[in-house]
Structures are given as structure tokens and as C-alpha cells.
């Protein structure tokens, strides 16, 4: 189990988010609670293994916030149900699981992990805006473009998971514009996620809607650990101006 708190560096208060990654492993299936096991009773082995690794990792991260032996069930919308006062996010792929947890009064968070080396060009038009494709072509050469397309895709998934607890609203890929701002060696960088239309319903709660133009920030890390090729995060503060 490795700390990847730097996935949240410069996002929110320093140290406010606990983020961990670990390789996917069958042995965590035995550590599921009865309720969690029932959620994957009919799942394929791969799904059960990834789900169990995510739960194991989430329990470890929650323990750092003072919540011991928490059971993390899922709602009908598949979103994880966190202990009271916690906001968190889980992601897994064949190789690794990644989680982040924080104080729900401060922010909601989203994470995503990928172990592919690129996002195939055939998929770009269905997940990216024309401006995002233009930026990929302008700022990244042919040797790195596929990898940064994967970062962009992953960022959209992370944003989706971060916004959902606030809005409980589905959001399509074309409803978000993401800009990647690599840091010096390109192994990490900032993600600027701009909502393209209103998402959510403010009549439910004042912060249950993001207006068009709202900007959420995130980060990406390449090769964060031996098993994590691409990791992305988004943090959305609760108090919004
Ligand atoms: C929900 C979704 C983002 C998950 O991503 P994924 O690549 O399929 O899988 P990941 O392993 O990264 O994430 C799976 C985890 O997401 C979490 N999750 C599922 N639905 C969620 C939701 N509505 N809100 C927050 N988290 C959710 C769960 O913890 C799940 O793991 P678990 O079932 O083991 O608990 C994806 O399936 C989806 O529905 N995407 C369409 C919406 C979207 O991405 N829009 C882009 C908007 S800009």
C-alpha cells in the first residue's frame, strides 16, 4: 500500500486528503464484509478482485481519518456510501486500485487510475470536445499524444466522481472541458476542468448545482507507483463563492 497524497498537492488544504494506491490482489476478497460481499456475489472474478482491493484500500484510508473497520456499501447509482462526514472516491483497473478520502464538510474528491499506455484515437471524438482534440494535437507530439489523451479521459472520470456527491446528477463527456497543464518534466501537472453547461439542481440544495463556466481543479501523475501508470484527481470545495 503506497501513499499518493501528492496527487492532491496544491488542491485544498495541505494534508487534508488521504490518498493510497495498491496492486489488485485476490487475497482481499476474504476481507470484505458480508454486506460488501453481497454486492459482488454474482460478479466475475476480475470485478470481485478489483472491488475487494478498492474496499481494502478505502478501509485503510478511512482509518487515518479515525473511522476503523468501516463497511462501504454502494447505492443503486453505484456510488460508494461513505461513513458520515467523509467524502471519498475509489478507482480500479486490472493492475491497481486508488482511493482518496477527505472531510466531507470541506470538499468532495474524485480519483481515477489507468494502466493502459494510450487512449485509442478512434475513441477521441466520443469523449473529447473539438477544442480538447485541437490542444492534444498542438501541445503533445505524436509519441506522447495518446498517453495525454488517456490523462484527459481519466480526468473526466475523476471530475465525474467528484461532482456526483454534490449534484447526484449524471454528466456526459461533452459537458466538461479539460485543460492539461504539465509541470516541468511532464510526469505530473494540473488539470483545469470547466463545466460547459449547468449541472445539477439548485432547488435541492444551494451547492447541488454547478453553473456553466464553473472551474474545478485536479492533478495528474504518471507512474505514480510501479502499478499506477496514470492517476488523476479532482477536488471540489464545498464552500463556493
Ligand atoms: C462511474 C464511472 C465514472 C466509473 O469509472 P470506471 O472507469 O468505470 O471505473 P473506476 O474503477 O475508475 O471507478 C469505479 C468506481 O467508481 C465509483 N462510482 C461509481 N459510480 C459513481 C458515482 N455515481 N459517483 C461517484 N463514484 C462512483 C465506485 O466506487 C466504483 O467502484 P466500486 O463499484 O468498486 O465501488 C463510469 O462508470 C461512468 O459511469 N462514466 C460515465 C460518466 C462520465 O464519466 N462522464 C464524464 C463526465 S465529464
Q: Which residue has the cell 463556493?
A: 240
117 contacts: CB under 8 Å, gap ≥ 6: 146, 147, 150, 229
Full set of structural domains in the chain with CATH = 2-237 (3.90.470.20)
pLDDT at 4: 95
Helix locations, 65-205, DSSP H = 121-127, 130-139, 145-167
| Cell numbers representing residue 166 in the block | 454534490
Neighbours of 174 (CB within 10 A): 15
Q: Please count the helices (runs of H) and the strands (runs of E) in the chain.
A: 5, 11
Q: In the prediction, which pLDDT does 239 show?
A: 76
> C-alpha angle with apex 106: 105 to 107, nearest 5 degrees?
105
What is the pLDDT, as a whole number, of residue 184? 84
Q: How far apart are CA 71 and CA 56, in angstroms?
A: 10
Question: How many beta carbons lie within 10 A of that of residue 128, not counting itself?
Answer: 22
Q: What pLDDT, on the 0 to 100 scale, is given for residue 206?
A: 77
Task: Determine the Cα angle at 225 with ends 221 and 226, to 5°.
Answer: 130
Does the global pTM surpass 0.85? yes
Instruction: Report the DSSP beta bridge partners of residue 51.
Output: none
Cα of 10 from ligand 1 centre, angstroms: 24
Q: Which atom of ligand 1 is nearest to the CA of 50?
A: 34
Going from the Cα of 232 to the center of ligand 1, the distance in angstroms, rounded, reads 13
User: Would you state the pLDDT for residue 205?
Assistant: 81
Per the CB < 8 A criterion, the answer to whether 100 and 18 are in contact is: yes
Spatial contact of 21 and 4, defined as CB atoms under 8 Å apart? yes
Let me know: does 25 contact 112? Beta carbons within 8 Å.
no
Q: If residue 181 lies in a helix (H) or strand (E), which one and from where to where? A: strand 176-182
Which pLDDT tens digits describe the chain residue by residue (241 residues)?
Answer: 999 999 999 997 777 999 999 999 999 999 999 999 999 999 999 999 999 999 999 999 999 999 999 999 999 999 999 999 999 999 999 999 999 999 999 999 999 999 999 999 999 999 999 999 999 999 999 999 999 999 999 999 999 999 999 999 999 999 999 999 999 889 999 999 999 999 998 888 877 999 999 999 999 999 988 889 999 999 999 977 5
Q: In whole angstroms, what is the distance from residue 147 CA to residue 152 CA?
A: 9
- Ligand 1: which of 123, 160, 218 to mutate, judged by most atoms within 8 Å of the beta carbon? 160
Residues having CB closer than 6 A to ligand 1 are 51, 54, 74, 77-80, 90-92, 112, 156-157, 159-161, 164, 171-173, 175-176
C-alpha separations of 35 from 71, 73, 105, 201 in Å: 8, 7, 27, 31
Amino acid at each position: 500500500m503506497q501513499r499518493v497524497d501528492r496527487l492532491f498537492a496544491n488542491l485544498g488544504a495541505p494534508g487534508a486528503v488521504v490518498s493510497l494506491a495498491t496492486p489488485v490482489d485476490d487475497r482481499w476478497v476474504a476481507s470484505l464484509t458480508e454486506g460488501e460481499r453481497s454486492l459482488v456475489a454474482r460478479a466475475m472474478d476480475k470485478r470481485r478482485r478489483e472491488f475487494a482491493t478498492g474496499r481494502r484500500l478505502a478501509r485503510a484510508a478511512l482509518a487515518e481519518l479515525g473511522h476503523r473497520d468501516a463497511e462501504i456499501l454502494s447505492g443503486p447509482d453505484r456510488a460508494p456510501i461513505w461513513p458520515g462526514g467523509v467524502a471519498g472516491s475509489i478507482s480500479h483497473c486490472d493492475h491497481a486500485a486508488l482511493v482518496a478520502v477527505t472531510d466531507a464538510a470541506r470538499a468532495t474528491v474524485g480519483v481515477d487510475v489507468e494502466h493502459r499506455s494510450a487512449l485509442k484515437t478512434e475513441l477521441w471524438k466520443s469523449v473529447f470536445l473539438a477544442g480538447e482534440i485541437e490542444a492534444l494535437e498542438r501541445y503533445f507530439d505524436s509519441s506522447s499524444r495518446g498517453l495525454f489523451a488517456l490523462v484527459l479521459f481519466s480526468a473526466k472520470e475523476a471530475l465525474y466522481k467528484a461532482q456526483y456527491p454534490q449534484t447526484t446528477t449524471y454528466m456526459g463527456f461533452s459537458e466538461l472541458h479539460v485543460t492539461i497543464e504539465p509541470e516541468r518534466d511532464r510526469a505530473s501537472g494540473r488539470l483545469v476542468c470547466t463545466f460547459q453547461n449547468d449541472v445539477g439542481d439548485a432547488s435541492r440544495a444551494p451547492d447541488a448545482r454547478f453553473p456553466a463556466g464553473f472551474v474545478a481543479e485536479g492533478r495528474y501523475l504518471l507512474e505514480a507507483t510501479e502499478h499506477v501508470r496514470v492517476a488523476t484527481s479532482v477536488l471540489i470545495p464545498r464552500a463556493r463563492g
